[in-house]
Structures are given as structure tokens and as C-alpha cells.
Structure 1
């Protein structure tokens, strides 16, 4: 597994055919090519923004294959292999490994709140198949797990975790891990903290909104992390944050798909139980995108 990751790692949406609701493979490949063209540094497939709980194991396996072919080595490819079913997670890990992905993102089984030794045992099984330490998907709101800084250090020391997709409720631990060389590398994983975590030295982020506003996300990363131009970064953030905030308040996945469609890249509607954004929300969202200067995507 790749030990160095940086930049905007885009947790892309999963397109579904509007007619039958099945995986739209052609749209998926077009989406990935548009991401690469926009300068995205890595593609994350089958994540939360990609509606992984609504996908079958075979669909997720097919997604890995399509993504590997479409990326063609032009940027990093990260496969989310987490599942509430351990056997499925291990099967998905094998499939992602066989496609030669650069890294794997793993959420722990999330129905029962696991003990730390159970987390370790689960990750040991994943890593034994993956062939190296993975990105730990830390999302306490879903898993119910509040992994401490010391436990994260243990996971890194034991060769289980190299990075953390950091989406905690308490960012005190985030700031401490960013300055702890023994902790896994922090990747910004929460939209509200994106600017702050990049500014404090995180090498990159895993974010879903970059599916349809890739250029704004790349511009933010360039200003803050590469050029160290925080005033310029704040200018970009002033355009990006209203978009993110509206999505967080009104339905992230549904509005991401609406935003993609408004920019000329239709990805269908979300799968149940998520419902499509209403016409009123779509119009309000288009107004926000217009104020941010977001026009049609460059698809060719």
C-alpha cells in the first residue's frame, strides 16, 4: 500500500442509470476522466459519498475495475473496502488488491460498537490481504468508536494504519496528531475543518464535494498547502464554504448529484433510502454555485 498520499483525494459519487437504477458504468468512467482532467490528485471509490451501503459486493468489485481502467495510473486510486459485514470487507479487500489500487480506505464494522482489541483483530485481517497498512476511516458518528491518540499510535506502530481519514467530533485530537510523528498521517476528512486541517499541515484531504467542484478544491489545496498563501486560500474558502454548508444542512449526496447535473455531468439520483433533492433546493443550490462562479464542467 502506498505510504505517501497528498492533495485532494476525491471521494466520488456513484452514478446510477435514471431508467433502471443500475450502476451506470459509462458515466462512472466519464466522471473519473473529468476528475483527472481537473487536476484531482487521487480518486476514492465506493466511499460514503459513493453510497457504499446501497451497493452490492459485486457492484463494488466492478467499480474497482472500472476505476482502475479509467484512472490508468494518472492519479492515485483508493478503494474503500469497509463494510458492516467482515466477510464482505475481506472479499472487497481481495478484489481491490487484485486491481492494483494504490491504497485502501477502511471503516470498521459499524452496527455494534467494537472494543479496541476487536478493531485491531479486524484490521489485522484486512492488512494481511492488502499487503500493507491502510487508511483508517475515523467516523465516530457512524461507528460509535472514539479512538484515542494513543490507540492511533499503536495502530501505526503495529503496521496496521498509515493514514487516518479524520472525521471526528472533537478536533483536539486532530491537532495533537498533526504534531505527533508517531501517529498516522492525518488526511482532512470533514468538510467544515478542511481549511483549518490543511493549514495546520495535513498533506491532503478526502472530500466528496470535489466530485462536482474539483477546481475549487484543487485551488484551495494549491493556495494553502503548496503555495502557503493563506490569504488566497481564504478567498477560495469564501467561495467553497457556502457550497459545503448548504450540502451539509440539506442532504450531502443528493445535492452533490444535483450539483453535478447542473454542471453538465448527470450521475442519476441517489439510491433509497436517500431521496433526490427537491426542485426548490436545487434552485437554491444553483444560485449558490452561481455566486461562487461555478459554471459547466470541462468534460472533453
Structure 2
């Protein structure tokens, strides 16, 4: 199940509330353009500022809209183990195919604490779990040794690896039987060359067909085509991180006329100089 291009879908807002109609349109656009899986309520979906009710509602909409056409893997992580358990159990109840669970942020647990956090969630919620390692956001990293230990739990089956480290990916793949997906668009091709099976993508919000085609080409053994797409889209992928994600990707989607340009504080609009750089890149690529 965990292979190809999964989109970390943005959460559109309108006048401070979730824009449900636009959200459905974004989901349909992803499926139309070949995206292999949907990840609602992740970092790109501004999960940290969603209420518990909004989070659950977005999961429900994703499941009902997608309607089993592709897998839905809901972001259900929290720095509170009990909240993560609640959200993960809800994802199972709602009909999700899996749960993406970020390492506990702010608390900075030890490797033993990380293990117990994930083990507790896996025990309480019988759903396939994808670990999510993104130390730039959480302040801690899952070591390959901890990943290997967690992989022995039957329903912990994958990891979204966003540390940007080739060495990290090599050690994980070498030490255990767990599916690795890149958590960084620019590292999709390098990580897949080491054995990763795809990407949980930010850029797929903007160029879903290209991200899908890159991953699928590699999986099909057409390395030359995957490499060609990689170099074609890398300026767009890098532009999505000119400022903190999801500010650039939501700005791009707004420029494309797909969403209203709105975030939850403390996120805000881009600096004008960065906006101009972003606009130049996406205009050159033909997105606007």
C-alpha cells in the first residue's frame, strides 16, 4: 500500500474556518491527476492549529470523498500520547487505511520514550502506522536503531523520512524490513535509489501528475524518465520551501486560483521579496 506519490494535502481556510467545499475540490484534483494516496491533517495541513473537531471532520471528508479510490493515511500525531491515541483510533473508525504519526515535538523524549509512545499508539489503535521523522520541526530524530525496534511491532509498517539524510535512509533500510517513503520532495529520487518506495509530497499539491510520474517511473524501472522529471521539477520543489511549509505551497495554490490565501496564525503571508521569487519560478514553469 505505501508506495508511489502520497500528497500531504493542504487545509484551505475561508474567514477563519475550514473551507470544506474547496477541500473536496482539492481532493478530487489529486485523484484526477494520479496521486496514489491522500494524507490529510499533516504538517502541510496545519494540523498543529486544528481543533480536535476540525481534525476529525477533515478526516471524515477525506475518507468519504476519496471513497476507497486511493488510500487515505491520516496525520494523527501529537506530543501528547493520549491525544495521538484518540486521533489514531478515530482514523481507524473513520475508515482510513493508515495513520501518519509524527515524533512527539517539544517534549523531546529519549529513544525509550519515543518507543513507548509509538508502542502505546500501536497497541491501542489497530491500524497500519507510518512513523514520521522530521527533526527540523520536532527537535528530535528517530534513530535507525529505534526505527528497527519499532518495526518489530506488527502494525508499524512504514516511515516517512524527512531528516534529509542519505545515511539515515541507508541505515534504516539495512537494519530492518520497513517501507521508507521520502518526506522531502527534493530527495525522492535519491532515496528511491536506495530502496525507498515513494514520497509523501508537499509539491504534489501543486504538480500532482509530475510527482506521481516520477515515483511511478522509478517503480517501473524507467530510471532515465524518473531522473528527467526530477531535474525538470526540482526548481518548483525547492520553491515550496522558500519559507516555512505550507506558506509557499498555499501561496502558489492561491496564485493558481485553487484556494483562498489564508493560514492559521502564527503562520502568515510571505515576505514580498520571497513572494516575487516564488511567482517567477512558478510562472516560468507554466503554473500561472
Question: Normalization by structure 2: what TM-score?
Answer: 0.93
**Alpha-carbon distance change, 218 to 186 in structure 1, aligned in 2, over 3 angstroms:** same
Question: Which one is further off, 212-221 or 25-34?
Answer: 212-221
Name 1:11's counterpart in structure 2.
8
Aligned positions, number: 288
TM-superposition CA deviations, 1:229-250 (whole Å, max 9, x none): 2332222122211112222233
Aligned to 2:152: 157
CA distance in 1 between counterparts of 2:283 and 2:138 reads 36
Structure 2 residue 189 is matched with structure 1 residue 195: yes
Of residues 40, 45, 56 in structure 2, which corresponds to 1:45?
Answer: 40
Counterpart of 1:136 in 2: which secondary structure? Answer: strand
Q: Which runs of 4+ in 1 moved over 6 A?
A: none
Question: How far apart in 2 are the matches of 1:200 and 1:291?
Answer: 32
* Rounded Cα–Cα distance in structure 2 between residues aligned with 1:41 and 1:56: 27
Given candidates 246, 270, 273, the residue that maps to 2:263 is: 270
Structure 1 alignment gaps of length 5 or more: 296-300
RMSD after superposition: 1.9
Please give the residue correspondences for 1:27-106 in structure 2 after superposition, counting only pairs within 5 Å: 27-106=22-101
- State the shift of 1:213 in Å: 1.3
Q: Give the 5 Å matches for 1:140-155.
A: 140-155=135-150
- Equivalent residue, structure 2, for 1:298: none
Instruction: Give yes or no for contact 1:32–1:67 (8 Å, CA) kept in 2.
Output: yes
Q: Retained in 1: the 8 A contact 2:160–2:183?
A: yes
**Aligned to 1:110, what secondary structure does the other structure show?**
coil
- The worse-fitting range, judged by mean Cα deviation, of 188-197 and 98-107 is 188-197
Calculate the TM-score normalised by the size of structure 1.
0.89
Assess if the C-alpha contact under 8 Å between 2:242 and 2:274 holds in 1: no
- Closer/same/farther in 2, CA of residues 114 and 160 from structure 1, 3 Å limit: farther
Q: Is 244-253 or 54-63 further displaced after alignment?
A: 244-253
1:16-27 equivalences under 5 Å are 16-17=13-14, 20-27=15-22
Displacement of 1:179 after TM fit?
A: 4.0
- Return the alpha-carbon distance in structure 2 between the equivalents of residues 179 and 268 of structure 1: 43
